[in-house]
Amino acid sequence: MRLNFLSKQSNKAQDPVCLMKVEKDENALNYEYKGRTYYFCSENCKEQFRQNPDQFLS
């Protein structure tokens, strides 16, 4: 039997500040920027991103 792990939609996102993998669920810390939602592992990472998003997206 061959399993295709890539066919399942991932429920994880990468925190753009610390690059940690985080769960995308209703309790996840998130912030919308330029029409896209970003997810965070902590309030600290979210606040760093909020202060200067372009620093973490380039």
User: For residue range 31-58, what is the model confidence (pLDDT) as tens digits?
Assistant: 999 999 999 999 999 999 999 999 999 8
Total-model pTM? 0.80
What pLDDT does 9 receive?
A: 62
pLDDT digit string (tens) for 3-15?
Answer: 544 445 679 999 9
Is 12 within 8 Å of 24 (Cβ atoms)? yes
pLDDT digit string (tens) for 14-31?
Answer: 999 999 999 999 899 999
What pLDDT does 10 receive?
A: 77
Domain positions in the chain: 11-57
Distance in angstroms (rounded) separating the CA atoms of residues 33 and 28: 16
Cβ contacts of residue 58 below 8 Å, gap of 6+? none
Is 17 within 8 Å of 6 (Cβ atoms)? no
Instruction: Return mean pLDDT, the chain.
Output: 89
Distance in angstroms (rounded) separating the CA atoms of residues 45 and 18: 7
Is 46 within 8 Å of 40 (Cβ atoms)? yes
